[in-house]
Amino acid sequence: MSLLDQVRFPADIRALPREQLRQLADEVRDRHIDVVAQKGGHFGASLGVVELTVALHRVYDTPRDQLVWDTGHQAYIHKILTGRNEQLPTIRTRGGLAPFLRRDESEYDAFGAGHAATSISAAWGMAVGRDLKGADFDVVAIIGDGSMGCGLAYEALNNAGHKSNDFTVVLNDNDMSIGPAVGALNKYLTSMVTNPAYNKVRDVVKDVLHRAPRSLGHLMEEVAGKLEDGVKHMLTPGMLFEALGFRYIGPVDGHDLDELVDTFSRVRQMSGPILVHVLTQKGKGFHLAEDDPWTWHAASPFDKISGAAHAKKAGRPRYQKVFGKGLVELADEDPRIVAITAAMPDGTSTDLFSRAHADRYFDVGIAEGHGVTFAAGLATQGIKPVVAIYSTFLQRGYDNIVHDVALQDLPVVFGMDRAGIAGADGPTHNGAFDIAYMLAVPNMTVTAGKNGTETLALLRAGLQHEEGPFCLRWPRDSVPDEVPSALTIEPTPHASWEVLRRGSDLCILAVGTMVLPAIDAAQELAARGIEATVVNCRYLKPYDRAVFEEVVSAHDRILTIEEGTVTNGFGAFMTREITAFRRGAALHIETLGLPDDFIEHGGRGELLADLGLDAAGIARSARALTDGAATGRSARETA
Ligand SMILES: Cc1ncc(C[n+]2csc(CCOP(=O)(O)OP(=O)(O)O)c2C)c(N)n1
Ligand SMILES: CC(=O)[C@@H](O)[C@H](O)COP(=O)(O)O
Ligand SMILES: [Mg+2]
């Protein structure tokens, strides 16, 4: 009988004979491989924490004791062991399990995740909250080495380390982020655990312990622990974490269940801030992922034996590839261009740049704010930095954008990928706010291309723009057009719009990915006798004042459409501009976009249709606007 049939919750793990934990771990690992092979999803990170997850739920009394997983892409094992095994195949699908952790999905999900490096701050908050109310439970944060390279983690360590509240940080060190591990921390951690003298002494200590008579066991354990700590302090450089006030324990073999259970049983009896350094292998137990953890960070459905993806990647390339290739071509011609990524070389396709111009490629790690201000510094030296960061992750660098780039009018180009609906990654990853947050920044030029070619045309324009920062956005999608070499594409004229269609019944002001569906909607409307003007507002700010005045003078019914929040988005901006320009006129303005809410995970296309942001939805809104206006219905904002 399979153990997984009887182990549904952590209490079942704690009821198992200890010698069955190994079998449970093997079954859980196989289950994870089976489900992701069928359905796709995040893959390598969960494989690396199978034993760690089993051991934590074995030792700690979850959900009373709180486990705070960082980022959450490694939490499939946690979900399997906390009552969600049957639902696992629904993960990342509309209405199914969330891609990461969510407090509203399970009592075992102590804190939501998705963006990296929040776990220590959150866990510390829980520990202090516990002590303020005199409660009694353990709090454990589990953070990866890549996420430990993020400044937020140090803010938390620094703050927690000088207090005495009990809480534990588990550093899951697989020497890997998504791309190759970057940063001095990784070198430091590696040096600690590969120091031959330190490891020799550890082996001796282990051997002495093993041989000690049972009767002396506890005493020997104390002596051995002191000896090991003394050696550790002597041999390992700096003991960064001890300097920050944490008792350092480790490194521990993250795949040795006995060592893990013994270590956490010991740690659970200790007091104060503790950091347990666990060594794991990302992709452990699936040979292809062990050999190439970067590629197997996430996977689309694949054959378990060969690893071959089921669905052949047909059709046109993703926007990210078009951007990455175009940037390389432009950098071939201009030695001032540099590319900056924040630990996402693959997702932004700046890995292409790293191969073509290694000396001008910078992966700053999970440090978006630093990446932005680093770019500002480069710009003061006449360098042309292109900061390629997902819209959602760029939120981490907002003050840096305002304070270090825009206020100093520095020519930095921001390439915001995953703008709009990201899809399966859900609300933590949707690029819902970049139009709103960038429009609010003085001196910032805000743009969005209608297709791949125009995206590169805007990139060229941004690289020529010397008078301050410039941003452009693109979706997690394939381009709708054949895209030529960037070097053959003229830069889009500054602050220009493009009138794609003229009609007398209403005017549609469309942004970026909404332009082509607006054209399709206009054709549907025309079949019903409604003629729409469609304008490609590829410069959101500064906008094309001449075209604006022409079309706004000619229309009392205006529909704006953007794949971004309507709250303080382009539509709100245009509504203010239009009502000021047509003061006193009886206008009917509707702004379509993402509602003032968080959009759940699901397929990008189905979510856009749900939101009325496909051609059919746009046509419906346009008809309502023209019918409504015909009956004198007042203008209304729609979400
Ligand atoms: C703020 C932020 N930036 C970037 C990402 C994208 N991201 C997801 S997982 C990951 C790598 C994390 O590395 P590590 O913490 O070592 O975890 P591992 O995958 O190795 O288990 C990155 C960069 C993110 N989730 N959040
Ligand atoms: C967990 C995380 O943040 C990344 O793995 C993210 O899911 C990547 O997103 P894309 O798949 O859109 O590159
Ligand atoms: Mg890692």
Is 58 assigned a catalytic role? no
Other CB atoms within 10 A of residue 82 CB: 22
CA 511 to chain centre: 24
CA neighbours within 13 Å on the CB side: how many for 564? 33
Work out the pLDDT band at 235, boundaries 50, 70, 90: low
- What is the CA(574)–ligand 1 centre distance, in A? 37
**Whole-number pLDDT of residue 179:** 74
User: Tens digit of pLDDT for each residue in 279-306?
Assistant: 999 999 999 999 999 999 999 999 999 9
Task: Look at residue 236 and tell me whether its pLDDT is greater than 80.
Answer: no
CATH assignment of the domain containing 465: 3.40.50.970
Q: What is the pLDDT of residues 610-628, one digit of tens each?
A: 999 999 999 999 999 998 5
* Residue 15: partners with Cβ closer than 8 Å, 6 or more residues away: none
Provide the residue type at 158 as one letter: N
Nearest in space to 371 (alpha carbons), one of 565, 568, 550, 149: 149
Query: Binding site for Mg(2+): which residues?
Result: 145, 174
Q: Are residues 231 and 331 in the same domain?
A: no
Q: How confident is the model at residue 441, as a pLDDT?
A: 98
Q: Are residues 459 and 556 in the same domain?
A: no
- The DSSP line for 467-504 is SS-EEEE--SSB-SS----GGGSPPPPTT--EEEE--S
Which residue, 272, 291, 310, sits at the end of a domain?
291
Q: Under 8 Å CB-to-CB from 446, ≥6 apart: which residues?
A: 435, 438, 439, 471, 539, 540, 541
Which domain-ending residue is among 439, 461, 488? 488
Instruction: Give residue 635's pLDDT.
Output: 38
Known binding-site positions for thiamine diphosphate: 73, 114-116, 146-147, 174, 286, 368
| 176 Cβ closer than 6 Å to some ligand 1 atom | yes
Domain boundary among 488, 507, 542: 488
Give the pLDDT band (50/70/90) at residue 185: confident
Please tell me which residue in 79, 282, 284, 604 is annotated as part of the active site.
282
Q: How far apart are CA 604 and CA 478, in angstroms?
A: 12
Q: Could you tell me if residue 365 is inside a domain?
A: yes
In terms of domains, do 634 and 506 share one? yes
Same domain? For 400 and 503 the reply is no
* Any ligand 2 atom below 6 A from CB of 476: yes
Given a cut of 50, whether residue 639 has pLDDT beyond it is no
Q: What is the pLDDT of residues 125-167, one digit of tens each?
A: 999 999 999 999 999 999 999 999 999 999 999 999 999 999 9
Whether the pLDDT of residue 196 is over 70: the answer is no
Count structural domains, the chain. Answer: 3
Rounded distance, CA 540 to CA 347, Å? 25
Q: Determine whether the shortest distance from the Cβ of 231 to ligand 2 is under 6 A.
A: no
> Is the per-residue pLDDT at 632 higher than 60?
no
Task: Return d(Cα 303, Cα 295) in angstroms, integer.
Answer: 15
Cβ(71) – ligand 2 distance below 6 Å: yes
Task: Judge whether 208 lies within some domain.
Answer: yes
Give the ligand with the smallest distance to the CA of 150. 1
Verify that 147 and 262 share a domain, yes or no. Answer: yes
Q: Kindly name the residue from 102, 396, 473, 541 that is annotated as catalytic.
A: 396
Residue 192 tokens, joined = 């600690």
What residue numbers bound the domain in which 115 lies? Answer: 3-291
Q: Is the CB of 282 under 6 A from ligand 2?
A: no
| Mean pLDDT in residue range 533-548 | 98
Residue 211 has pLDDT above 80, yes or no: no
55, 112: one domain: yes
Residue 553 near residue 538, CB atoms below 8 Å: no
Q: Are residues 477 and 503 in the same domain?
A: no
Domain match, 65 and 162 both: yes
pLDDT for position 636: 40
Measured CA to CA, the distance from residue 551 to residue 565 in angstroms comes to 24
What pLDDT shows up at residue 393?
A: 98
- Res 372: pLDDT: 99
3-state SS class at 145: coil
| 368 is annotated as an active-site residue | yes
Question: pLDDT value at position 637?
Answer: 42
Residue 296 lies in a domain: no
Q: 372 lies in a domain? A: yes
637: which 2 tokens?
């904002």
CA distance 379 to 469: 10
Same domain, 626 and 481: no
In a domain, residue 217? The reply is: yes
Judgement on whether residues 521 and 484 belong to the same structural domain of the protein: no
115 CA closest ligand 1 atom index: 26
pLDDT over 50 at 238, yes or no: no
Asked if 533 and 465 sit in the same domain, the reply is no
Q: Which residue has the higher pLDDT, 355 or 228?
A: 355
**pLDDT class of 237 with cuts at 50, 70, 90:** very low
